[in-house]
Amino acid sequence: MRGDEFSVRGRPSCHQADPGSLKELQGSGRARVAGGLRILVGMEATVLIVEDEPGIADVLRITLKYNGFTVHSAATGRAAVAAAREHRPDLVLLDVMLPDGNGWEVCRALREQRAAEAGGDAEDDLGIIFVTARDAPRDVVAGLALGGDDYITKPFGVDEVVARVHAVLRRTRRRADRVADRTLRHGDLEMDEATYTVRRAGRPVELTPTEYNLLRHLLRNAGRILTKEQLLQHVWQYETAVSSTVVETYISYLRRKLDRLGPPLIETRRGIGYGLRAPAPPPRQPQAERAPDVMPEPDPDPDPDPAPGPDPAPGPDPASGSPAGPGRPVER
């Protein structure tokens, strides 16, 4: 076995890392091996480690933190799904053999959860790498076919893990970069999924993770009424400890925080569920009267001068009473 390998060959013969070896990994000796690819570090990312062996989980956690990643851990499949919903990792290192199931099922659940969060209109940006002692070719093929981006068999070298994490992140981030805008808008309400911030009328709204997930699902389905069962499935994943009244409780929390900044947004359809009201149309501005495109022709002169005609015939002479005519002089 090479000096940079951590030996794992199945659960019965698993060699857990002792505290001295972990300190050595953090120190200047083997840390050079773990950080040998530190030149690649430059991308900030969150990694979720799903591993039930504490020694292996510790080695991976220390290695990834040393290389600049934010790291969260889970020891069971159920905890992994909950941690992914809360922290929304960029990548998951997933063991196949877990106490409450197998990694194939967890991979499928994580993909479905991310697709539900994206509303089906964005590409999946979650990277998943299986890390397992199951090294048979059929297991590798099955893992990749079920949604894995890569497959690492135990024993593994920590420098190999870091290199593969970077490679998968480059691919998944190229997919994510194709999504032009990750801001959800409804009226004066905005949610930036890249920074996990919410603003209404330009003012920030502080939300808990559950409130954020509930509002995001309502925003992604704006214009629709969602049943209580749909909200329980997509926000709480039908957790058995969740009471049906939890939906009403968190809807009231959201209303309290959003309605103080503007008119009511969340609509209750009794006996059906909840949705976002259609935003009020902006007030219409009075329009100034437009001048006619074609100027009318001026009216004709109502009293035109008459055209010149023949001189009138002379009338009778008022003094003589005789008609005047041609050839007859007027007597005086």
Task: Return the pLDDT at 4.
Answer: 42
All structural domains of the chain, each given as residue ranges with its CATH number in brackets, are: 5-177 (3.40.50.2300), 183-276 (1.10.10.10)
Least Cα distance to 15 among 156, 161, 164 occurs for: 156
Average pLDDT over residues 205-226: 91
pLDDT digits (tens, 9 = 90+) for 240-250: 455 668 999 99
Task: Return the pLDDT at 312.
Answer: 53
- Name which residue leads in pLDDT, 332 or 29: 332
Least Cα distance to 55 among 21, 4, 100 occurs for: 21
- Name which residue leads in pLDDT, 232 or 309: 232
pLDDT digits (tens, 9 = 90+) for 250-271: 999 999 999 999 999 999 998 8
pLDDT digits (tens, 9 = 90+) for 41-84: 445 789 999 999 999 999 999 999 999 899 999 999 999 999 99
Under 8 Å between Cβ of 72 and 94: no
Task: Return the pLDDT at 316.
Answer: 52
What's the chain's length in residues?
332
pLDDT digits (tens, 9 = 90+) for 151-196: 999 888 999 999 999 999 988 876 655 444 578 899 999 999 878 8
User: 112-141: buried (b, 16+ CB within 10 Å) or exposed (e) per residue?
Assistant: ebbebbbeeebebbbbbbbbbbbeeeebbe
Least confident range of 8-12, 214-218, 230-234: 8-12
